């Protein structure tokens, strides 16, 4: 379609190329109501001819608008927008990786805590069995107390390490 034909189509409809689609449709409907053969009071053959010109002009303008929309609608991203989108993707991936790392650290800490508790319970059960089996000599009692103190200090140290790790991960 040439520019002259497009300009003629806009002139036929009585609109400017800068007008909105809605305004162009309203202009066409106004002209159709004016020149419709059933309503037109003059020469119906001339009304048919004018109505055909109006419809043809509207088809030309409509196809031009569709073409313009197709061209304008395609997203054009700048290098800056692409870089921003990539940076956001990388940041999101880093957040996910950090969350996974923290979850894994928590699981490991919980497993260590559970293992230490199990050892503590086993030591307590062993102590109870030993006490109930036979009376302890003074040396055995001192050895058992020393072992109990070692286990107690290990449990305190483990709890302190766990608190430090939790502070670091939060």
Q: Tell me the per-residue pLDDT of 120-133, one tens digit each, with 9 for 90 and over.
A: 998 888 888 777 76
* pLDDT, position 19: 85
CATH number of the domain encompassing residue 57: 1.10.287.110
In a domain, 87, yes or no: no
Could you please report the per-residue DSSP string of the chain?
A: --HHHHHHHHHHHT--TTS-HHHHHHHHHHHHHHH-TTT--S-HHHHHHHHHHHHHHHHHHHHHHHHHHHHHHS----HHHHHHHHHHHHHHHHHHHHHHHHHHHHHHHHHHHHHHHHHHHHHHHHHHHHHHHSPPPHHHHHHHHHHHHHHHHHHHHHHHHHHHHHHHH-
End of a domain among 73, 97, 126?
A: 73
In a domain, 59, yes or no: yes
In a domain, 78, yes or no: no
Instruction: Assess whether 64 and 118 both reside in one domain.
Output: no
Instruction: Assess whether 61 and 110 both reside in one domain.
Output: no
* pLDDT, position 74: 45
* pLDDT, position 103: 92
Q: In which domain, by residue range, is 41 found?
A: 3-73
In a domain, 95, yes or no: no
* pLDDT, position 111: 92
Segments of the chain scoring below 50 in pLDDT: 72-74
In a domain, 85, yes or no: no
The CA-atom distances, in angstroms, between 3 and each of 9, 63, 64, 71, 149 are 10, 13, 11, 17, 97
End of a domain among 52, 73, 94?
A: 73
End of a domain among 73, 96, 123?
A: 73
* pLDDT, position 73: 43
* pLDDT, position 124: 87
* pLDDT, position 98: 92
Domain count, the chain: 2
């Amino acid at each position: 379609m040439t520019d002259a034909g497009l300009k003629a189509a806009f002139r036929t409809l009585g609109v400017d190329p800068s007008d909105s689609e809605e305004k162009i449709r309203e202009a066409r409907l106004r002209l159709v109501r004016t020149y419709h053969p059933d309503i037109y009071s003059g020469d119906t053959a001339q009304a048919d001819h004018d109505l055909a010109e109006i419809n043809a002009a509207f088809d030309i303008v409509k196809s031009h608008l569709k073409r313009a929309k197709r061209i304008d609608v395609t997203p054009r991203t700048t290098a800056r927008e692409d870089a921003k989108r990539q940076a956001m993707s990388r940041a999101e991936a880093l957040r996910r990786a950090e969350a996974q790392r923290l979850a894994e650290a928590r699981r490991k800490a919980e497993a260590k805590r559970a293992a230490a508790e199990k050892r503590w319970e086993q030591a307590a059960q062993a102590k109870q069995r030993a006490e109930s089996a036979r009376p302890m000599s003074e040396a055995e009692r001192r050895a058992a107390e020393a072992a109990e103190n070692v286990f107690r200090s290990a449990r305190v140290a483990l709890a302190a390490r766990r608190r430090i790790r939790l502070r670091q991960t939060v």
